[in-house]
A and B are shown apart, each in its own frame.
Chain A
């Protein structure tokens, strides 16, 4: 049921990236199968040379160069209609946590990609520190009022990691009580931040993401930017020790400036049942317009993994080991954040 097990189409998209559609019997998705068939037998992948990189769908052979081929938007429309048909007939599958790869690949990731590429110009570094397969616990800093940093870390791994890994993040319980947000949280691969769920995901070999600062990090005022908050009670370390998976610290720079929080209206927050109600230079003054995040420059750096397996399972009962590991992870992230923050120069560099 995991993303890695499903076969992907082996053609390349117009942008030269690996096509993410599920593959049919010939190893191609429906769109590419039709497009290659339309382009004629010579243009398709040679039957003998079936490799992962057929040349047919490269930019050169797109509609622009060949006046006989249908325009590019038709392929896109075909894909969109096919997606709609699957949704209308329920022809897709979710895993036991509710992760819906079809929706992520065709709707959620494409929606976030412009933010990632153009708005925040995210630079992902150290992706080689995230294993190609098997479980690991990705631990990051958390800031920016809304959890866009979690989304961007997820997208960095999904798009830019060589194995296109899906990060299964652990989300606060509030996410599962809000209408519209609740199903989206599950479909995009989140699950409730509890030990049972996290252990189950790691046991299934998934990459699990956790942001131990929680609301304390997300809802901290702008003047405290890039100062990491307390890392919970070290629950994530206990989790890593119990399951013996490595911890990959990830440092996010840029999320602090998307909604510079000047004040927190506690009474309003209490009334709405949310952990904080931010006042930024634009929100709520400009209404919904004020909810547009600022285009800061982002750097996401994955740090070398910290192994936990050699501590043994009994280590989780030793509070000193847990405290030390928690501090080690927190310090690694704090130092990396600081280094990248200084190197970045201006906020909108």
Chain B
């Protein structure tokens, strides 16, 4: 079977890796890579690059003239600054999706639609269940990235109803980390100190960037499976634990000051404000459905993924050797003290 696959956001880090991974597949005849900026490196021969914005009418021509059977929409961006401000980010995320789906609706050969969504659709609040499953009703995040992601999912669901012949797979991915991926959370851990909300220690899940591509690839060229699936590395990591693994000093901020620090974070790491809720309350999603129905389980656990990210990307300020030396030295000091005390009282000592 000759697969013709369209990938949006193809010049971003995940998109580039997905495009080259798909191009390696013998059954894939062509990959149409769509993005409004040029990919930095040359693309494989099978890949046809279409340099258009999702909102432009040229997209419709690209979708309809290439005879694609699969559309992989890499979804909403979480970075308002990079997108040129929050209004532009929303335009791109939501209107771009509407435009893409409108074009896809009229693509006669289309059989499969894969959406890369995010677990941010669940929001982050203290009253949340500990573990989210896909079917649980969740409070809609009212603004920012989470809201965009929900709206994108809603448009995809309505597309799903109108084109029952298309298998729609929605993957809700946890926060990605890895040697190359660049997003607000990786930039947060790259800061010299990590600001946290005082008195809170959220549970986080991570997904290794290689697993991101594997999951998208599985949904694109594996057995077609209809549905929405959480995708995250096994297990959870606490924020305090992640900061320790990253070897950074944490900087707890009292709640009243969180707003201004969040503003600072917005400027430095392009954190959208509602993501601060994530650093306060965290979120965990159940990945059993992806494993059982989609047949996908990540190779890296949350902890392994984060450790790989920390080892390849971060310069540790607090290293294992330092801590181990501190432990040895304090113990040695205590031993000496014990010897001295023992020598003074009972005349005993170390054997």
Contact = CB atoms under 8 A, between A and B. Distances in A.
Interface of A: 1, 38, 67-71, 73-74, 77-78, 81-82, 84-85, 87-90, 92-98, 100, 173, 176-183, 186-187, 191-192, 194, 196-197, 200
Contact of B244 (A77, A89, A191): A89
B335 to A, nearest CB: 7
B199 interface: yes
A178 B131 CA distance: 20
A90 B189 CA distance: 15
A70 B338 contact: yes
B331 A81 contact: yes
Contact of B284 (A70, A96, A183): A96
A109 B109 CA distance: 63
Residue among B240, B241, B303 having the largest count of chain A Cβ atoms under 10 Å: B241
Nearest to B205: A96
Contacts of A87: 244
Contacts of B44: none
Contact of B245 (A67, A89, A179): A89
B199 A196 contact: no
Given A89-B320, A93-B303, A180-B199, A98 B236 contact: yes
Given A70-B350, A82-B327, A182-B200, A191 B334 contact: no
A245 B343 CA distance: 60
B323 A89 contact: yes
A33 B324 CA distance: 18
A67 B346 contact: yes
A40 to B, nearest CB: 9
Interface of B: 126-131, 133, 136, 197-201, 203, 235-238, 240-245, 255, 281, 284, 303, 318, 320, 323-324, 326-327, 330-331, 334-335, 338, 341-342, 346, 348, 350-351
Given A89-B323, A192-B129, A179 B200 contact: yes
A89 B200 CA distance: 19
Contact of B318 (A88, A94, A178): A88
6 contacts: A88-B323, A90-B242, A93-B235, A94-B238, A173-B127, A192-B127
Given A69-B351, A81-B327, A183-B200, A96 B131 contact: yes
A74 B303 CA distance: 33
A333 to B, nearest CB: 27
Given A71-B341, A71-B342, 20 more contacts: A70-B335, A70-B338, A73-B338, A81-B327, A85-B327, A87-B244, A88-B244, A90-B237, A90-B241, A92-B241, A96-B130, A179-B199, A179-B255, A183-B199, A187-B201, A191-B130, A196-B129, A196-B130, A197-B130, A200-B131
Contacts of A73: 338
Nearest to A180: B199
Contacts of A68: 348, 351
A24 B284 CA distance: 30
Given A182-B199, A186-B203, A77 B126 contact: no
A197 B242 contact: no
